[in-house]
Amino acid sequence: MKYLTKEWYKTMQDSAPESRKIVKSTLEAYWSEYNKNFGENPPPFEEYFDFHDSKITNLEKAGNDFIIEIDPDEGSEFDIDKIVFKNARLIECEEGIAGTYWIYDELYPAEHGFEIHILTERSDVKYLTLECENVEYYYNAEPAELE
């Protein structure tokens, strides 16, 4: 992660005014870069890519795809229980991510689609980073109806 690092997350836990300024300026810097990268053309999956506080229940590789399963009753406001990263390449996946909570993510354009960085937390902070062509959402094994 470029902006929302483990160190940043620790700073975010501190309510001191100076810490709050660091948190705010870091978020502003990330969103400025996001807007510079994507402008009026956000990733096609971006509208529903909001899993803050979602519990990650399982991770698996399925052919060329990488799948994250989440508890649909914890975190996401959408009826999604499976996130499929199409034609994915894992860059970093720390041990013990299943059972953690999705805290923050960063999205970047990449050679083959998108690079996605995910910060998770339970008793400690962990990273998952991957590159993929696209993202699909499922609920009860069917494509999620999100409209």
Alpha-carbon span 69 to 83, nearest angstrom = 6
Q: What share of the chain is helix, strand, coil (3-state, %, to 5)?
A: 20, 40, 35
Q: In the prediction, which pLDDT does 13 show?
A: 73
Ranges in the chain, pLDDT < 50: none
Q: In the prediction, which pLDDT does 98 show?
A: 96
Q: In the prediction, which pLDDT does 131 show?
A: 97
pTM score, two decimals?
0.88
Q: In the prediction, which pLDDT does 128 show?
A: 96
Yes or no: say if 25 and 4 are a contact pair by the CB < 8 Å rule. Answer: no
The two tokens of residue 59 are 């991770």
